[in-house]
Amino acid sequence: MAKKQELENIVESTAKEEEKLRARREECAARIDARTMSAYERIRQSVHNHLAVVSVYNGDSCGGCFNAITPQRRVEIASNRKLIICEHCGRIIINPDFE
């Protein structure tokens, strides 16, 4: 019972921040084309931790599955010109320096 109360307190204390983040998500989603958003939602539903977008981990690995990324793929990721999908886990990989 105490844990349930503690969880309710945490949810209540973070509700305002969660609402702010949801509004920002909707704002960003409105600027993305429907096809890309559909792919994002599909990836998000298919992975167990719901992380559809991951950054490069340790300079040469996918942040989702930690498999090595080829040098050519790393160059494509760094260029930020198109969406790069991990060939192992299917997540979207972004440049860690991308804002």
2-43 pLDDT, tens per residue?
Answer: 888 998 888 888 988 999 999 999 999 999 999 989 999 999
For the range 64-73, what are the long-range contacts, defined as Cβ-Cβ under 8 Å and sequence gap of 24 or more? 64/89, 64/91, 64/93, 65/89, 65/91, 69/93
The model carries a pTM of 0.75
